[in-house]
Amino acid sequence: MNRRRFLLVAAGAAAGAWWLRPQSLGQGGHDSYFEKLSLALKREGLARPTMILDLDRLDQNIETTRRRIRPREFRVVAKSLPSAPLLEYVMARGATRRLMLFHQPFLNAVAKAHSDTELLLGKPMPAAAASRFYEHLETSAFDPTRQLQWLIDSPERLRQYREVAEARETQLTINVEIDVGLRRGGMREPVDLARLLAVIDADPVFRFGGLMGYDAHAALPETLSLRSREFEKVEARYRAFLEVCRRDRPAHQDETSLVLNAAGSPTYQMWNEIDGLANELAVGSGLVKPLNFDLDTLADHVPALFIASPVLKKLDGLEIPAVDVGPLHSLWDPNRARTFFVYGGYWKAAPVSPAGLLSHPIYGRSTNQEMLNGSLEVDLDVDDVVFFRPTQSEFVMLQFGEIAVVRSGRIVDFWKPLPQVA
Ligand SMILES: Cc1ncc(COP(=O)(O)O)c(C=O)c1O
């Protein structure tokens, strides 16, 4: 290639690359919703990372869930809404007293704070955790035999729970985990359930409470009918397990007295298509809709949970220590034209407002001062607020000491998360 041709090709490649470079994602400042939230924080003097729960949006999600869950009962997944006042609020508006629990300290806190509830474990707790629950139970208003169903996934765990029951001279209500395709343990085949039921029914320390079959794996895209086909399998497996109960326990035909639990936020609306089988559905995260729940099965739910964090520093350009390439990076990607450092960070969350903020894959994350980049179109200054959406609620809601509760754009209360010890 001669020199002239080489220069032409190089110029062409440069023009092509320039044309391919990323576009600015910035679109100015906050929209009116986030502007109002940021004023609410300023009014309250809250210049630190703050977890925000929007009650108007939560109401909307509770109403949607109630409508969609009918005629089944609504079981609230406590781990995904881990705050006593929040659970009380959801149960009151959701017209239910059923909760699903996954953590022994939460179990103790809930039995104390909401002693009229009916609790179902969502995972099989170690027998020692079950014992500890009884040791730390602080109220006599809650009757575990009547109000609590332990989840059992194997004959061995059932044997351990027998010891717990004997040591405490009490009767335990047992719900059995069935595998409807998630492959996360529990009874794999109907015959396994038949054997376990025989042991439960023969032993007076146990009372059979029902079945729990979680089906999150079926929340697939509907491409090539993947979702419907997987869900048909879920239905068939659930039915086969339930047939075992009907066949082997004819004296206990009253299915309405059993807790036949299914679903979670990603799948509960899929149960609209099915008559019978499960008589209650579990929903938690969908009520606040974190980012991981932006699914088409939850299209009629709205995000209600945000993290707000003040901007501490605003710098021009982007400098990465040791591997700095000067202004080249920002020239190539307009979204790296400015650098912001916010108060805290590295949550399981992504920035959502103002639009167009990105973390940097090489600079790294920080729980102390997180770096974000944005284009010149991002309207953001020191002391302004960046809003993030958590990717999930269960752990993130525990990280802020309290939750700022917003109604009509104003902070109306602060709710404490559930305690982590008991
Ligand atoms: C057994 C069980 N049921 C239901 C759920 C659904 O919870 P969520 O509605 O918060 O997704 C979960 C989530 O992990 C679960 O493990």
* 283 Cβ below 6 A of ligand 1: yes
Is residue 175 lining ligand 1, measured as CB closer than 6 Å? Answer: no
Q: Per residue in 151-185, pLDDT tens?
A: 999 999 999 999 999 999 999 999 999 999 999 99
Residue 10: predicted pLDDT: 79
Chain centroid to Cα 13, Å, comes to 46
Measured CA to CA in angstroms, residue 75 lies from 69, 250, 273 at distances of 10, 27, 19
**CB-CB contact of 341 with 418 (8 Å):** no
Distance from the alpha carbon of residue 362 to the mean position of ligand 1, in angstroms: 34
- Residue 221 gets the label, from left (phi > 0), alpha (psi -120 to 50) or beta, of beta
Rg of the chain over CA atoms, in angstroms? 26
What is the atom index within ligand 1 of the atom nearest the CA of 122?
Answer: 1
Between CA 7 and CA 4 the distance in angstroms is: 5
Q: State which of 58, 62, 77 you would mutate to test the pocket of ligand 1, scoring each by most atoms of that ligand within 8 A of its C-beta.
A: 77
Q: Whose CA is nearest to atom 14 of ligand 1?
A: 264
Contacts of 165-171 with CB under 8 Å at 24 or more apart are 165/205, 165/206, 166/205, 167/131, 168/131, 168/134, 170/134, 170/144, 170/145, 170/205, 171/145, 171/204, 171/205, 171/206, 171/207
Residue 282 pairs with which residues in a beta bridge?
75
Q: What is the dihedral of CA 199, 179, 279, 175, to 10 degrees?
A: 30
Rounded CA-CA distance 225/236 in Å is 17
C-alpha triplet 197, 150, 97: angle, nearest 5°: 120
Where helices occur in 311-392 by DSSP H, the ranges are: 328-332
Q: Tell me how far the alpha carbon of residue 311 lies from the centroid of ligand 1, in angstroms.
A: 35
Which has the closest alpha carbon to 72: 257, 363, 235, 277? 277
C-beta 65 within 6 A of ligand 1 = no
Distance 172 CA to ligand 1 centre (A): 23
Q: Identify the DSSP state of 281.
A: E
In short, whether 81's Cβ falls inside 6 Å of ligand 1 is: no
Ligand 1 centre from 102 Cα, in Å?
Answer: 9
214 C-beta closer than 6 A to ligand 1: yes
Angle between helices 104-113 and 84-94 (to 10 degrees): 60
Q: Give the residue whose CA is nearest to atom 13 of ligand 1.
A: 264
Residue with the nearest Cα to atom 4 of ligand 1?
Answer: 264
Q: What is the pLDDT of residue 2?
A: 77
Helix axes 155-168, 190-202, angle to 10 degrees: 20
HSE-CB at 302 with a 13 A cutoff on CA atoms is 13
In three-state secondary structure terms, 299 is coil
How many Å apart are CA 138 and CA 172, to the nearest integer?
A: 18
- CA 79 to ligand 1: nearest atom: 10
Instruction: Please state the three-class secondary structure of 143-204 as a single string.
Output: CHHHHEEEEECCHHHHHHHHHHHHHHCCCEEEEEEECCCCCCCCECCHHHHHHHHHHHHHCC
Give the pLDDT means over successive 10-residue stretches in the chain (422 positions). Answer: 79 77 94 98 97 98 97 98 98 98 98 97 98 93 97 98 97 98 97 97 96 96 91 97 91 84 98 93 98 97 98 95 81 94 98 97 93 97 98 97 97 97 94
Amino acid at position 42, single letter = K
Query: What is the position in ligand 1's atom list of the atom closest to the CA of 266?
Result: 11
96: CA distance to ligand 1 center in Å? 17
pLDDT at 253: 65
Centre of ligand 1 to C-alpha 28, Å, is 37
pLDDT tens for 272-308 read 989 889 999 999 999 999 999 999 999 999 999 999 9
Which helix H or strand E contains 367, and what residues bound it? none
What local confidence, expressed as pLDDT, does residue 326 receive? 76
Strands 369-374 and 338-343: antiparallel
Best of 76, 83, 100, 125 for a ligand 1 pocket test (most atoms within 8 Å of beta carbon): 100
> For ligand 1, is residue 37 a contact (CB within 6 Å)?
no
pTM, two decimal places = 0.95
SS3 breakdown of the chain: % helix, strand, coil, rounded to 5? 40, 25, 35
Residue 274 parent element (H or E): none
Ligand 1 pocket: which of 212, 214, 281, 294 to mutate (most atoms <8 Å of CB)? Answer: 214
User: Does ligand 1 lie within 6 Å of residue 290's CB atom?
Assistant: no
